[in-house]
């Protein structure tokens, strides 16, 4: 158990949780009850619900030392597909909504699988593949709609967001919480998660022990796509409309949260818990600034600074832990072999 505590103590997600608690404490002192109210935290949790779902997939991708810039556009495309389907079927009930949800998930998984295939099989760098998908998915969504948002979302979905509470938690954050918990279990407790770390830590090594790295990468990107599809459903429920022009920074916000939460951009290391903490920091800052009357524009300044500081501290900590430089030596050995 002490080993467990030491391991936890060494994780960035734990001390970044400390940073979050300091921020919460500071706002509590400055704004008191207004900040600490249930309604405030309910609002914060609703604001991060969609990003939390996207963050689960993004954490997996970044641990494989990949990146997915396309999630925002895939979310838009999937929400357009869902809205079109629900519009065509008509009606305001759950059966209509169900078909829409199915459409959004299929669309998300299809985009993710395409990304994964191009990355794993065609060996195009993830940055380029998903940058392309970002552009194509958004472009196609605009083609499908003529650039005008579709507002015909069944009441079943919007009511789900507005009225339903499960165990005292509003519906959207509750769905996000379930996704986060399942994501955490899969990442940290199953073979799928273990392979995700292994691929990011040493791809060649993973291949040599017989892991089907290509197939695993395709699964991971498909998972991220599925998360974007589910995110599309939640966004439709939240706003009652597609958000064609509203997701241009979603990818970067989610990536920032994942990285603030201690997932290494170089792969091999990370946690879903850290991502959730990393999502709360900007959301809490935003809510806090509004309450204490600071212009909300300062949120961007604060989050950007936290991001850079978090990665700097994390890297120095790792460099200290790895004195003697294991990673460079392994890398150089791989290079000398393949030369």
Partner 1 sequence: MAYLLEARGLSRSFGHVRALDNASFDIEPGEVVALIGDNGAGKSTMVKAMTGNLAVDSGEILFGGEQVTIATPHQASAMGMEVVYQDLALAPHLNPVQNMFLGREIPRRGLLGFLGFMDEKRMRASAEAGFAELGGTVTAFGAPVGSMSGGQRQQIAIVRAITWADKIVFLDEPTAALGVVQTKNVLDTIKRVRDKGIAVVLISHSMPHVLEVADRIQVMRLGTRVATMPARGTTVEQLVGAMTGALDLA
Contact assessment for residue 176 and residue 50, using Cβ atoms and an 8 Å cutoff: yes
Residue 65 makes contact with partner 1 by CB under 8 A: no
Binding mask 264-293 for partner 1 (x = CB under 8 A): ----xx------------------------
Contact pick of 168, 208, 293, 295 for partner 1 (by CB under 8 A): 208
Closest approach of partner 1 to the CB of residue 323, in Å: 9
Residue whose pair of structure tokens reads 């400055």 in the numeric block: 30
Pick the closer one to partner 1 by CB: 201 or 243. Answer: 201
Examine residue 14 and tell whether it contacts partner 1 (CB under 8 A): no
Closest CB 144 distance from partner 1, rounded Å:
37
Tokens 């796509």 belong to 225
Out of 144, 186, 290, 302, point to the residue binding partner 1 (CB under 8 A).
Answer: 186
Whole-number minimum distance, CB 203 to partner 1, in Å?
Answer: 9
Q: Which residues contact 86 (CB under 8 A, 6 or more apart)?
A: 96, 97, 99, 100, 152, 153, 154
User: Rule CB under 8 A: is residue 189 a binding residue for partner 1?
Assistant: yes
Shortest gap between Cβ of 186 and partner 1 (angstroms)?
8
Cβ neighbours for 154, distance < 8 A, ≥ 6 positions apart? 86, 91, 92, 93, 94, 96, 97, 100
- Residue 235's contacts (CB-CB under 8 Å, 6 or more residues apart) are 50, 75, 79, 243, 247
Q: How many CB atoms lie within 10 A of CB 245?
A: 11
* Subset of residues 306 to 325 that bind partner 1, contact rule: CB under 8 A: 321-322, 324
Nearer to partner 1, 151 or 191 (CB): 191
Return the residue of 148, 163, 337, 339 that touches partner 1, per CB under 8 A.
337
Q: Which of 37, 95, 135, 190 binds partner 1 (CB under 8 A)?
A: 190
CA dihedral 101, 107, 109, 113 (to 10 degrees): 180
With contacts defined by CB under 8 A, name the span among 84-92, 114-122, 187-195, 230-238 that binds partner 1. 187-195
Query: Rounded to whole angstroms, how far apart are CA atoms 129 and 287?
Result: 35
Reduced 3-state DSSP string for 38-69:
HHHHHHHHHHHHHHHHHHHHHHHHHHCCCCCC
Residues at the contact surface with partner 1, assessed by CB under 8 A:
3, 7, 186, 189-192, 194, 197-198, 200-202, 204-206, 208-211, 268-269, 321-322, 324, 326-327, 329-330, 333-334, 337
């Amino acid at each position: 158990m002490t080993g467990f505590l030491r391991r936890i103590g060494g994780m960035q997600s734990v001390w970044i949780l400390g940073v979050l608690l300091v921020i919460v404490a500071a706002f509590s002192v400055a704004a008191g009850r207004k900040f600490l109210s249930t309604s405030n935290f309910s609002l914060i949790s609703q604001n991060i619900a969609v990003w939390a779902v996207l963050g689960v997939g993004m954490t997996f991708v970044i641990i494989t030392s990949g990146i997915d810039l396309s999630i925002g556009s895939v979310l838009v495309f999937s929400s357009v597909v869902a809205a079109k389907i629900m519009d065509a079927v008509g009606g305001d009930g759950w059966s209509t909504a169900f078909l829409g949800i199915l459409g959004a998930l299929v669309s998300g998984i299809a985009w993710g699988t395409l990304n994964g295939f191009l990355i794993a099989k065609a060996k195009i760098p993830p940055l380029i593949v998903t940058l392309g998908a970002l552009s194509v998915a958004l472009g196609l969504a605009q083609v499908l709609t003529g650039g005008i948002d579709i507002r015909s979302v069944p009441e079943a979905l919007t009511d789900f967001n507005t009225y339903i509470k499960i165990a005292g938690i509003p519906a959207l954050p509750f769905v996000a919480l379930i996704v986060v918990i399942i994501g955490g279990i899969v990442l940290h407790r199953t073979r799928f998660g273990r392979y995700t770390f292994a691929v990011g830590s040493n791809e060649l090594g993973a291949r040599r022990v017989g892991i089907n790295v290509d197939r695993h990468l395709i699964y991971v990107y498909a998972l991220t796509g599925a998360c974007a599809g589910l995110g599309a459903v939640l966004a439709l429920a939240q706003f009652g409309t597609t958000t064609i022009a509203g997701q241009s920074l979603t990818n970067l916000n989610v990536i920032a949260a994942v990285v603030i939460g201690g997932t290494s951009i170089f792969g091999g290391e990370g946690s879903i818990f850290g991502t959730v903490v990393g999502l709360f920091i900007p959301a809490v800052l935003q809510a806090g600034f509004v309450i204490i009357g600071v212009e909300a524009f300062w949120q961007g300044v604060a989050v950007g600074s936290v991001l850079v500081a978090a990665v700097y501290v994390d890297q120095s900590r790792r460099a200290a832990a790895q004195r003697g430089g294991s990673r460079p030596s392994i890398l150089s050995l791989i290079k000398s072999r393949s030369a």
